[in-house]
Structure 1
Amino acid sequence: MTPTLRAALWMMGSITSFSAMAVAGRELGGSLDTFEIMMYRSLVGVIAVFTLATVYGTWGQINRRDFGTQIGRNLAHFTGQNLWFYAVTVIPLAQVFALEFTSPLWVIVLSPLILGERLTKVRALAAVLGFIGILCVARPTIAGLNAGVITAASSAIFFALTIMLTKRLTRSQTITCILFYLTVTQLVFGVIMAGYDGDIAVPEVAQMSLLLLIGVAGLMAHFCLTNALSIAPATVVVPIDFVRLPLIAVIGMLVYAEALDIWVFIGGAIIFAGNYMNLWIESRRVS
């Protein structure tokens, strides 16, 4: 089996996991708020990370260095994920995924401020293409611009902050340490935000299965994506990941009778073009 085919199989796992998480999030949106969903999802994550750390004996890797960065990173992810879960309940799933694909472009825009990286002409052009793609997907008119579009677009910014702070943490911390703080702090955030009104909903049996699906799918999505990137270059993996957009559009049509919006595909293609152009040129420069 070639590396490209192996990476493609891992990406199929990632795509399936992301799609399952979106559908489960929409199903739970009518009965649990986003903070409760994140709280229970983080609980599943804590159990998984604690189990893996015990099995592989990696507890010693957990330390208190870069604690401020850990908190900032996890607060950004918690905010972005809450916005994302809200968005999947109020606008078409394909629109959410298309706007989510702008995260790498926000990394380009914000990395000079946070990571001190240089903003090249190619990166600037990629960011401009991404902005044009956002306009196509969101169509900022009185009819097209709504809370769901705004939250989906905002979640991409917070996911970009998460990516950059994760990059900073990987310079000195292990995956076990990062995942430990990710799941534990987000569980604390979830308990605080879900319980601020004194009422945390206890899930029913059917809801528990969906929450378990969200927790497992979230971990599996990133696990599969990481494995794909370790096998093949990003210029191979990113086009495969883009399959998420037409797939979730078909799922939305079949399950929720969502119309297939041509502008979402046009905008998504422009966003993809900006991402891929930047990846392709950067990879050629490195090689």
Structure 2
Amino acid sequence: MSPPKLSFNRIDAISAPVQGALLMTLAALGFSIMNILIRYAADELHPIQIAFFRNFFALAFVLPWLFRHGLAGLRTERPGMHLARSVVGLSAMFCWFTSITILPLAEAVALNFTVPLFATAGAYFILREAVGVRRWSATLAGFLGVIVILRPGFVEITPAMAMPVIAAGFMAGSVLLVKTLSRTEDTVAMVLIMNLIMTPLSLIPALFVWEWPSWTVLGYLTLIGLVATIAHLALTKSYRLADASAVIPFDYARLPFVAFLAYFAFGEVPDEWTWIGAGIIAASAIYIAQREAKVARERTAAEAPRAQI
């Protein structure tokens, strides 16, 4: 009798929602590490120049895919949407990189949790999607969470505090475009096209603040490009594998991740209001995602009988 064969669990054996959750958690960790590296690099370089190097090295890490698949792998019938996604994404990057160099990291991340709230508003005002009272109420509650973090009247509100919220607005636009593109475009191709556009675009403003980095900072910049590429691939693949409502909750692991890393790297300790406000924002955003998924399922169920007629 032959001995039994050993079997090993493969990633393909894991259900798609679980894969999506794991990939979103990986993306959250990657973005948290990237934020720490950006803060280190900012000791020498302007955030806009760091954004250029992030795009440059990210492009370098995905170019082997292009050499393997050729230019045919970049074919798309939606070049305008790719361009729009890159412009919006670059605007978000400039605002975000600036915010994490001037604010405590946990506070910046908590304020940036407003991305799904802006996405809900954008879906209504730009895409003309129906948004019910429940989702509007959750959106309002989320912005109340921002007020908890900022505490106007109790602490001084500075222009710097607006930067992560402005970045969130641009990121929301990018999320809407990514979600739309991911229905038809290849995951790696989306990341590659984005970096092919964003690298030269980000070089232009970077030239006005240019300084040559030291070898140490150049190492940080290389790591930023590598980690950003891995995180974006994980994020995009996560949205392809599962509904946003299933994976978005795992994005909020960014706060404990970055709080832990910032404590050991910079000695930063977020106050209780940051955690409370972030919790309110996260809860409202998770509710919005779940509500959107429920509405989508009900719409699909209602349209199914008509399709059979």
Query: TM-score, length-normalised on structure 2?
Result: 0.83
Does 2:204 align with 1:192? yes
The root-mean-square deviation of aligned C-alpha atoms, in Å, is: 2.4
Per the alignment, do residues 141 and 152 of structure 1 end up closer, same or farther by CA in structure 2, a change over 3 Å counting? farther
For structure 2, which runs of at least 5 residues remain unmatched after alignment?
1-8, 298-309
The separation in 2 between residues aligned to 1:263 and 1:142, in whole angstroms, is 12
1:133 partner amino acid? G
Q: Displacement of 1:195 after TM fit?
A: 1.0
Offset of 1:51 from its aligned partner?
1.3
In the TM superposition, 1:1-287 aligns within 5 A as 3=15, 6-55=19-68, 57=69, 59-63=71-75, 65-141=77-153, 143-170=155-182, 173-196=185-208, 200-287=210-297
Change in CA separation of 1:238 and 1:285 when aligned onto 2, cut-off 3 Å: same
Deviation at 1:5, TM superposition (A): 5.5
Change (3 A) 1:262 1:142: closer
The superposition leaves residues 183-209 of structure 1 with CA deviations (integer Å, 9 ceiling, x where unpaired) of 122111221101136xx2222211111
Instruction: Give distance in 1, aligned partners of 2:125 and 2:168.
Output: 17
Question: Counterpart amino acid of 1:30?
Answer: D
Q: Distance in 1 between matches of 2:28 and 2:190?
A: 23
Q: What is the one-letter code of the residue matched to 2:111?
A: L
Pair member with larger Rg: 2
Q: Structure 1 residues 144 and 237 mapped into 2: Cα distance closer, same or farther (>3 Å)?
A: farther
Q: Distance in 2 between matches of 1:119 and 1:280?
A: 13
Cα deviation for residue 174 of structure 1 reads: 4.0
- Number of residues of Structure 1 aligned to a counterpart in Structure 2: 284
CA separation in 2, counterparts of 1:43 and 1:235? 32
Given residue 251 of structure 1, which amino acid in structure 2 is its aligned partner? L
Distance in 1 of aligned mates of 2:153 and 2:228:
33
Task: Tell me, yes or no, if the aligned pair for 2:61 and 2:225 is still in contact at 8 Å.
Answer: no
**Alpha-carbon distance, 1:33 to partner:** 0.8
Please, which runs of 5 or more residues in structure 1 have no aligned partner? none
Conservation of the 8 A alpha-carbon contact between 1:61 and 1:176: no
**Structure 1 CA distance for aligned equivalents of residues 80 and 242 of structure 2:** 33
- In 2, are the aligned partners of 1:76 and 1:159 still within 8 Å (CA)? yes
Q: Which amino acid aligns with 2:90?
A: F
Separation in structure 1 between the aligned mates of residue 185 and residue 125 of structure 2, nearest angstrom = 22
Structure 1 counterpart SS, 2:84: helix
Given that residues 38 and 186 in structure 1 are in contact (C-alpha distance below 8 angstroms), is that contact kept between their aligned partners in structure 2? no
1:8 is displaced (CA, Å) by 4.7
**Structure-2 change in CA distance of 1:58 and 1:128 (3 Å):** farther
| Matched letter for residue 22 of structure 1 | N
Given that 1:114 and 1:164 are in contact with CA atoms closer than 8 Å, whether structure 2 keeps it comes out as no
1:230 to partner: Cα distance = 4.6
Quote the Cα distance in structure 2 between the aligned partners of 1:70 and 1:229.
Answer: 17
Describe the SS at the equivalent of 1:224.
helix
Secondary structure, aligned partner of 1:32: coil
TM-score, L = length of structure 1: 0.88
Q: Work out the percentage of aligned pairs sharing the same amino acid.
A: 25
